[in-house]
Amino acid sequence: MTTTNSKQRKFLVITGGVISGLGKGVTTSSIGLFFSDQYKVLPMKFDGYLNTDPGTMNPFEHGEVFVLDDGAETDMDFGHYERFLANSANKQQSITMGKIYQEIRRRERHGDYLGKTVQLIPHVTDLIQEKIIQISEEQDADLMLIEVGGTVGDLENDLFIEALRQLRAKVGSENICYLHLTYVPIPYGVNEQKTKPTQQSINLLQTKGIWPDFIIARCTETLTENSRKKIALFAGLTEQDVYSGEDVTNIYTVPKGYEEQGLIDNISTKLGLPPLKKERYKRWQELLAQERKGSVKIAICGKYTDLEDSYASVVEALHHCSFHFGTNIEIVWLETSHTINKEILKTLDAIIVPGGFGNRGIEGKIEVITYARENKIPYLGICYGLQLAVVEFARKVCNIKDANSLEIDPKTTNPLITMLDEQKKVVNLGGSMRLGAYEAKIKKSKIQELYKKLKICKEEKEECIVSERHRHRYEVNPEYIKIIEEKGLKVVGYSRERELVEFIELENHPYFVATQAHPELKSKLETPAPLFYGLVQAALEHRKKEK
């Protein structure tokens, strides 16, 4: 691992323009991939909203909430960072304007400003820079990747942009590089790339004091020579500093596009770094180059299926498995708030019920779980998917007709899923939740075999110890464990510190497993999440039998 002193640390700032949702997170992660096996690369994300974090936001507002090991609830871009960089982020790397203002107010009340008038500049911009420098030094980062969410024109981003402009003077112009991701549309009926939105976006960034070193133009087609010339002219750059960010169907191919255009080497040169070895990138290319044979059909059942970003990590975990098995995975989005189409269920090779909250779509999910259990369809329950599998089993197999979760029915007389006593007293949303990484001990089972096979566990006698991330507030009621186990639904994993149910597995079923954790959050292209790996393996076996 190469190390540098504080004066030599490198900083790459990524901004966006024209529209949001262009893929700054994927771009940031793709660039970081190339540096990650030689340097300590640390991503950092700035979001202009005043929420402390996206934890209390509806998925339709902000997509998936990505939970870190330390329990921080972050933007879904952190999923891309971790998957591409093969590291674990922490809460210090996720900064919202809400957090910044909260800290400013705390310091002001504490008397830290010695009676001065507290202002946006310099106090807020100084604090933003302080956060960047502090985490880079504490974690001894070699390269900081700093992404600014939204677009340059967003009013709430102005202070972040100004702080990053000032950062150049603090760290030295030879140690910082600015990259701007923008958009070049081809309007319907025109059949010509239009660079004017990009020109205006660059101009807006320049008026704020940042002249980008590189431009990436997101587009449906490769930039024409004429488009590249226009963008370079208005940005004050050479044509070699303007790159295409073409639409792709697989985000894991994005790094290859940047590498082939020379962007990575040019960034390295601009930052004064020696040529990169790109070992991880080469291993990725080997995985991506594998021939795909056949396909399986896997349903993701939930109430947010209209917004696929709500389940982004679940989708990525399936993609990781598809590369390892050399098979195509067709994802079927099954909205459980409506009547379940039984004809669709008959076509499936596997079913996933992911995490969620609230009671909308619950009975539809339970109906799907029943179908998977009775028809020997491979099933993976995640968080809520475990809780509902327990409720379904108690109702249909153990004959506990009113079995339910207190979250769904607070008056149920048979609460198979309950809230712990100490959680009931917590007032703040999120405060009652079990967040972050927790260890669990797994006894002999299919689940244990999978964790051992993929070498993502520590072995202790006949058990293995695994660490997965959590985001939930309800637990399986221990009073009912003996009843469901006697009928064949076994608890094969408990949390290490409190004996809470973590993993369950159904006897005499090809693959019916569930976990209270969110294993999708730690899945990587090189090392797929074990329970997803097992699901796809079982789906392939199911497809063979159907033929």
The arrangement of strands across the sheet holding 475-476 comes to: 403-405, 414-418, 475-476
Within 10 angstroms of residue 425's Cβ, the number of other Cβ atoms is 8
According to DSSP, the β-strands at 176-183 and 214-219 are parallel
The token duo for 479 is: 């009073």
10 Å CB burial of residue 229 (0-12, 13-18, 19+) is middle
Q: Which of 320, 509, 518, 542 is catalytic?
A: 518
- Chain centroid to CA 35: how far? 20
| Closest C-alpha to 91, from 71, 111, 121 | 71
| Closest C-alpha to 475, from 506, 429, 516 | 516
The token duo for 306 is: 């209209």
Q: Which of 177, 219, 301, 383 is catalytic?
A: 383
457 is catalytic: no
The arrangement of strands across the sheet holding 434-442 comes to: 328-335, 295-302, 350-353, 379-382, 512-515, 501-506, 489-495, 434-442, 463-472, 458-460
505 is catalytic: no
Q: Which parts of 110-237 are beta strand (E)?
A: 143-148, 176-183, 214-219
301 is catalytic: no
CA distance 296 to 382: 20
Radius of gyration (Cα) for the chain, nearest Å? 25
Across-strand partners of 522?
A: none
According to DSSP, the β-strands at 10-16 and 143-148 are parallel
Q: Which of 301, 509, 520, 542 is catalytic?
A: 520
Helix, strand or coil, per DSSP, at residue 87: coil
Q: What are phi and psi of 499, to 5 degrees?
A: 60, 35
Helix, strand or coil, per DSSP, at residue 527: coil
Within 10 angstroms of residue 247's Cβ, the number of other Cβ atoms is 9
The token duo for 453 is: 């096979």
CA distance 426 to 35: 43
Instruction: Look up residue 491 and give its DSSP letter.
Output: E
CA distance 112 to 102: 14
CA distance 34 to 385: 37
Helix, strand or coil, per DSSP, at residue 468: strand
Sign of CA dihedral 402, 405, 411, 413: positive
The token duo for 426 is: 């917590």
Cα three-residue angle 188-190-194, rounded to 5 degrees: 95
Sign of CA dihedral 525, 531, 535, 538: positive
> Cβ contacts of residue 451 below 8 Å, gap of 6+?
442, 457, 464, 466, 530
Active site residues: 383, 518, 520
